[in-house]
């Protein structure tokens, strides 16, 4: 069984890089947890070094990873240099990182460049969380927080960023990424009001009856009451 661990940089008393009221710690926690949800949706076991805005030392992060056997360690960060002077994404592995870490870094980098970020390449570095973790490890710098264009990409292309990173990770561990159907919504069980009225939620409209029947089958399997109602 594949087991991953995600690390969201900084947090608590350490905001990381900041720019115009924006904090790296908040950005990476938000987008990292969204990627985690996508990966878990595909049945992959995943742990996280933090899930709230709390302070964690580098040693605490690597110690947490060392307690279990993980297939990959992935650390989320945002870059900074001088305001509006640098832009783009880069993905790091340790100076002596092996083929697995390099392949994962290249997959992630390719997905982020496809979103529209400038390509700063896959690089090697002697970062603590890359050096002191046992599993193949990568560190992602998702654009520069002190660059307006990168921040706009980070916000406006959030869905594509999340899906891209998740797709790269899943492909690396041999799981095919499956996008959520755009013509469906998260189903909810009918709820009743104090008058006893039931409210039903639509979960898609289909021109092809076979597709409608497949949707009904999926909903019933999930425990929801579902019927086809021709228009």
**Pair (158, 98) in one structural domain:** yes
**Pair (50, 11) in one structural domain:** yes
pLDDT in tens, 59-113: 999 999 999 999 999 999 999 999 999 999 999 999 999 999 999 999 999 999 9
Model pTM?
A: 0.79
141 is catalytic: yes
Of the listed 60, 141, 163, 213, which one is catalytic?
141
**190 burial type by CB count under 10 A (0-12 exposed, 13-18 middle, 19+ buried):** exposed
**Pair (74, 186) in one structural domain:** no
Predicted pLDDT of residue 183: 54
Q: Give the domain-ending residue among 136, 153, 172.
A: 172
**Pair (163, 197) in one structural domain:** no
**Pair (153, 197) in one structural domain:** no
Predicted pLDDT of residue 181: 72
**Pair (44, 142) in one structural domain:** yes
- Is residue 42 within 8 Å of 4, Cβ to Cβ? no
Predicted pLDDT of residue 217: 72
**Pair (20, 120) in one structural domain:** yes
Q: Give the residue numbers spanning the domain of 137.
A: 3-172
**Pair (135, 45) in one structural domain:** yes
List the CATH number of the domain containing 107.
3.40.630.40
Predicted pLDDT of residue 198: 47
**Pair (149, 205) in one structural domain:** no
d(CA 215, CA 201): 13
Number of domains in the chain: 2
Strands, E, within the chain: which ranges? 3-8, 18-19, 22-23, 45-48, 72-79, 89-94, 119-125, 137-144, 191-192, 198-199
**pLDDT beneath 70: ranges in the chain:** 182-208, 212, 216, 219-231
Predicted pLDDT of residue 150: 98
């Amino acid at each position: 069984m594949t087991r991953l661990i995600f690390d969201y940089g900084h947090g608590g008393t350490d905001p990381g890089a900041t720019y115009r009221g924006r904090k790296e710690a908040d950005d990476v926690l938000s987008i990292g947890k969204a990627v985690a949800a996508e990966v878990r949706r595909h049945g992959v076991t995943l742990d996280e070094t933090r899930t709230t805005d709390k302070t964690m030392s580098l040693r605490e992060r690597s110690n947490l990873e060392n307690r279990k056997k993980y297939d990959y360690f992935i650390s989320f960060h945002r870059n900074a240099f001088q305001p509006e002077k640098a832009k783009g994404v880069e993905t790091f592995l340790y100076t002596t990182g092996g083929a697995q870490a390099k392949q994962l870094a290249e997959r992630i980098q390719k997905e982020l460049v496809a979103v529209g970020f400038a390509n700063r390449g896959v690089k090697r570095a002697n970062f603590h969380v890359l050096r002191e973790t046992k599993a193949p490890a990568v560190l992602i710098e998702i654009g520069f927080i002190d660059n307006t264009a990168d921040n706009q990409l980070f916000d406006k292309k959030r869905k594509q960023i999340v899906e891209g990173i998740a797709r790269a990770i899943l492909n690396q561990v041999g799981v095919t990424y499956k996008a959520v159907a755009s013509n469906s919504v998260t189903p909810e069980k009918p709820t009743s009001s104090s008058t006893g009225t039931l409210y039903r939620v639509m979960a898609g409209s289909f021109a092809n009856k076979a597709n409608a029947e497949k949707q009904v089958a999926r909903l019933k399997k999930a425990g929801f009451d579902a019927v086809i109602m021709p228009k």
